[in-house]
Amino acid sequence: MTREGNSTLAAPGDPDIRADAPIGVRDSRPILGTGAPHLHFMPSLTRAAAGRLVLTYSQVCGIRRLNNAALVTARSENDGATWSAPEVLDEEPGWDCVNMGGLMPFGDDRLVLASGRLQMDLSLPGDEPCTGWFLATRTSQDGGETWTPIGPEIRLFPEWTEFYGASNPQSLADGRHMLVAIGTTSRDSGWRAGVTFSSDGGATFSPPVIVAEHPEREFGDMDVARLDDGRFLAVARVFGGQESVFTHSNDEGTTWSEPRPTSFAGANIKLQRLRSGAVLCAYRDERGSRTGVACSISTDAGEIWESMGWLATPSDAPVVADSVRAGYPDIAATETATLGCVLHPAPHTDGSIDLRWLDLVDRS
C-alpha cells in the first residue's frame, strides 16, 4: 500500500495528512485509556444543543473480543479536552453490546441512541460472522445525562438491521427526518443499503427505500450528506474490498441515482461537508491486509475523490481474529470552530486499543 500522506515516518495510529489538504490536524491523542489491557472500539460522537460532546463506544476488559463487550458513554464539556468517567449503558453476558448506528440528535437536547447486541462465531465465514443480532433505541432528553431503558427490537430488513449512517439523521424540507439503514436477507448475505424516514423524532421508522443492492455485490456502511445545491450525496461500502460507490438524490431521498464507483475501497463511511462545500469522506481503508483510517475529499459532489492521507496510519501487524480492525471514524463540530474526530486505530503492540481523538481544522 502506498503512503499518501505528508510523512513516511508516522507511527501506526498517528495521523498523516497531506500538507496541502483542506483539513489539518491541530492535535491527536488517545482518550479514556486505562492502565489495564482493554479494547475500546466502535465509537459514535455527537454534539448536543448546549455544546456538550457525547460519546458512546464498546469496551472489553482484556484484549479478546468474545461476546463480552459493554456499551459505555462519556461526555465532554470542553470540546474533547477532558471527558467524564465512562458509564455503562448496556451489558449482557454472552453478547457484544455495540453502537448499531449510534448517537442521533433530533433537536434541542433530544438524542436517540441506536444500539444493539451481537453474538459472534469466528468459525463462520464472511465479513460479519454473527449468529445473533438485535437493534433497538433508547432516548435522552437532557443531552446524554440520562437515558431511557432500551426499547423493543427494530427490524426493517428480513434479518440484520442497522442504522449505519454516521451522520444520521438528516432533516428534510417537510419536517421529517431521513436515516440510513442497512440490512440483509439472510445471516450474512443479501446486504443492501437504504434510507428510512421518521415523522415523530425517531420513535418509528418507515420501510426502507433501497439505495444500493445487486445480486452479485453486497452493500453496507453508508453515510449521507446534504450538498450545497440541496441534493443528497450517499457513499456506501462494497464488501470484499471493492471500491465504494456513490449516488445522489434530488428529491429528499425518495429516489436515488444508479450507484457508481469511487476511487477508494472504504468501510465505516463518515461524510462531513466542509465550509467550502467540499465533502470529506473518512473510512477504514479496505485495500490489502493493513488496517488504518484514511480520508478523501471531493469538490464536485462525489464525482471525483482525491486522497488526503491518513487519520490513523495503518499498522503492519496482523489483525488477531478476536480483536478489532481499525475504523469507525465519527466527526462533530466543536464550539471552538474545529471538527472533533474520534476513531479507533489498530491495536497497540500489547493488543490494547484506545480511542483516538483528533482536533481537525477546516482550511477549505
Least confident of 4-8, 141-145, 187-191, 291-295: 4-8
Taking the C-alpha atoms of residue 25 and residue 249, their distance in angstroms, rounded to an integer, is: 32
Cell representation of residue 330: 465519527
Q: Is residue 11 part of a domain?
A: no
The one-character DSSP state at 50 is T
Taking the C-alpha atoms of residue 102 and residue 57, their distance in angstroms, rounded to an integer, is: 9
Q: Is residue 6 part of a domain?
A: no
Q: Name the residue with cell 448506528.
A: 101
What are the beta bridge partners of residue 242? 238
Q: Is residue 337 part of a domain?
A: no
**Tens digit of each residue's pLDDT (9 = 90 or more) over 179-196:** 999 999 999 999 999 999
Confidence band for 322, pLDDT divided at 50, 70 and 90: low
Q: Are strands 170-171 and 161-162 parallel, antiparallel or unpaired?
A: unpaired
Confidence band for 317, pLDDT divided at 50, 70 and 90: confident
Q: Is residue 9 part of a domain?
A: no
Q: Is residue 163 part of a domain?
A: yes
Taking the C-alpha atoms of residue 238 and residue 221, their distance in angstroms, rounded to an integer, is: 8
What is the structure's pLDDT at 321?
Answer: 61
Cell representation of residue 352: 490494547
Q: What percent of the chain has pLDDT over 70?
A: 96
Q: Which domain holds residue 354?
A: 16-284+299-329+342-362
Q: Name the residue with cell 442504522.
A: 163
Q: Is residue 3 part of a domain?
A: no
Mean pLDDT of 107-129: 90
Please, are residues 149 and 138 in contact by the beta-carbon 8 Å criterion?
yes
Q: Is residue 1 part of a domain?
A: no
Enter the pTM of the model. Answer: 0.95
| Domain total in the chain | 1
Cell representation of residue 344: 479507533
- Residue 231, Cα to own-chain centre: how many angstroms? 22
Q: Is residue 87 part of a domain?
A: yes
**CATH number of residue 119's parent domain:** 2.120.10.10
